[in-house]
Structure 1
Amino acid sequence: MTYDPSLRVLTVLELLQAHETVTGAELARTLEVSPRTVQRYIMRLQDLGIPVEGKRGVGGAYRLKAGFRLPPLMFTGDEALSLALGLLALQQLGLSDLTPAAGAARAKLARTLPAALRDTVQALEEAVQFDASPWVVNTDAGLLQRMLQAVREHHTARLGYTSHRREATERRVDIYRVLHVDGRWYAAGLCHLRASLRVFRLDRIASFEVLDDAFEPPTDFDALALVRREQPQRKAYEVSVWLAAPPAELRGQVSMWYTDLCAEGAGTRLRGKREHLSSFAAFLLGLGVDFQIESPPELRAEFGKLAARCAAAQEGSSGLRSIP
Structure 2
Amino acid sequence: MANTSSRTLRLLSLLQSHRYWPGDELAERLGVSPRTLRRDVDRLRELGYPVEARRGVDGGYQLAAGAALPPLVIDDEEAVALVVGLQAAAQGAVEGIAEPSVRALAKVVRVMPARLRRRVEALSAMTVPAAWGGADRAAVDPGTLTEAAVACRDAERVRFAYTADGGRRTDRHVEPHRLVRLGRRWYLVAYDLDRSDWRSFRVDRLTGLRGTGARYRPRDLPADDAAAFVRAGLDELPRPHAVEALVDAPAAAVRDLIGRWSTVEEVDAGRCRVRITAGSLDWAAMALGSVGADFRVLHPPELREHLREWGTRFLRA
Describe the shift of the 1:163–1:255 C-alpha distance in structure 2 as closer, same or farther (beyond 3 A). Answer: farther
- 1:194 Cα deviation after fit: 3.4
Relative to structure 1, is the Cα distance of residues 281 and 90 closer, same or farther in structure 2, using a 3 angstrom cutoff? closer
Displacement after TM superposition at 1:43 (Å): 7.5
Letter in 2 for 1:230: G
List per-residue Cα deviations over 1:103-158 (Å, max 9, x = no partner): xxxxxxxxxxxxxxxxxxxxxxxxxxxxxxxx9x6644433221111011211222
- Counterpart of 1:275 in structure 2: which amino acid? G
Residue 256 (structure 1) aligned with residue 265 (structure 2): no
- 1:148 aligned partner: 149
State yes or no: 1:290 paired with 2:294.
yes
**What residue is the counterpart of 2:60 in the other structure?**
none
Q: Residues 280 and 61 from structure 1, CA distance in 2 versus in 1: closer, same or farther, beyond 3 angstroms?
A: closer
Alignment of 1:85-234 (within 5 A): 91-93=94-96, 95=98, 139-219=140-220, 222-234=225-237
Residue pair 1:232, 1:273 contacting (<8 A) in 2 also: no
Give the structure 1 partner of residue 271 of structure 2. Answer: 267
Separation in structure 2 between the aligned mates of residue 140 and residue 48 of structure 1, nearest angstrom: 46
Label 1:50 to 1:214 Cα distance change in 2 as closer, same or farther (>3 A).
Answer: farther
Rounded to whole Å, the distance in 1 between the matches of 2:27 and 2:291 is 56
**TM-score of the aligned structures, taking structure 2 as reference length:** 0.53
Name the CA distance, whole Å, in 2 between partners of 1:45 and 1:251: 61
Closer, same or farther in 2 for the Cα pair 1:152/1:53, shift >3 Å? farther
Task: Go from structure 1 to structure 2 and tell me whether the alpha carbon gap of 1:52 and 1:192 turns closer, same or farther (over 3 Å shift).
Answer: farther
Question: Alpha-carbon deviation of 1:199?
Answer: 0.8
Identical aligned pairs, as a percentage? Answer: 20
1:230 and 1:174 map into 2 onto residues whose CA distance is 18
What is the alpha-carbon distance in structure 1 between the residues aligned to residue 34 and residue 309 of structure 2?
A: 89
Shift of 1:177: 1.1
- The answer to whether the Cα contact below 8 Å between 1:243 and 1:292 also exists between their aligned partners in 2 is yes
In 1, the alpha carbon distance for the partners of 2:192 and 2:144 equals 18
Distance 1:201 1:304, change over 3 A: same
Assess, with a 3 A threshold, how the Cα gap between structure 1 residues 173 and 193 changes in structure 2: closer, same or farther: same
Give how far 1:198 is off: 0.7
Answer whether contact 1:159 1:170 (CA < 8 A) is retained.
yes
Contact 1:159–1:206, Cα closer than 8 Å, also in 2: yes
Relative to structure 1, the CA distance from residue 93 to residue 143 in structure 2 (aligned partners, 3 Å threshold; closer, same or farther) is farther
**Separation of aligned partners in 1, 2:167 and 2:266:** 38
Q: Is the 8 A contact 1:281 1:303 kept in 2?
A: no
Deviation string 1:42-73 (CA, Å, 9 cap, x unpaired) is 9739729996967849xx99458x99x96647
For the residues of structure 1 that align with 2:172 and 2:276, how far apart are their CA atoms?
32
Letter in 2 for 1:167: R
Whether 2:305 is the aligned partner of 1:304: answer yes
Gaps of 5+ in 2: 9-20, 51-64, 70-88, 106-135
**AA in 1 matched with 2:230:** V
What's the CA shift for 1:186?
1.6
Q: Distance in 2 between matches of 1:91 and 1:70?
A: 34
Distance 1:224 1:61, change over 3 A: closer
CA-CA distance at 1:280 after TM superposition: 1.9
Alpha-carbon offset, residue 240 of structure 1: 3.0
Change (3 A) 1:302 1:227: same
Q: Distance in 2 between matches of 1:302 and 1:243?
A: 15
**TM-score, normalised to structure 1's length?**
0.52
Q: For each residue in 1:251-292, what CA deviation from the matched residue of structure 2 results, as whole angstroms up to 9, or x when unmatched?
A: 5642604x3334332223223432334432354356553222
Distance 2:190 2:28 in 1: 46
Q: Which residue of 2 aligns with 1:11?
A: none
Match among 3, 19, 23 for residue 44 of structure 1: 23
Residue by residue, what CA displacement relative to the aligned partner does 1:231-263 show, whole Å, maximum 9, x if unpaired? Answer: 211154544322222345445642604x33343
Specify every segment of 5 or more residues in structure 1 that has no aligned partner in the other structure, as ranges: 1-15, 21-41, 81-86, 103-134, 318-324
The code of the aligned residue for 1:289 comes to: A
Structure-1 residue corresponding to 2:124: none
Aligned Cα RMSD in Å? 5.0
Whether contact under 8 Å (1:93, 1:183) holds in the other structure is no
Letter in 2 for 1:187: L
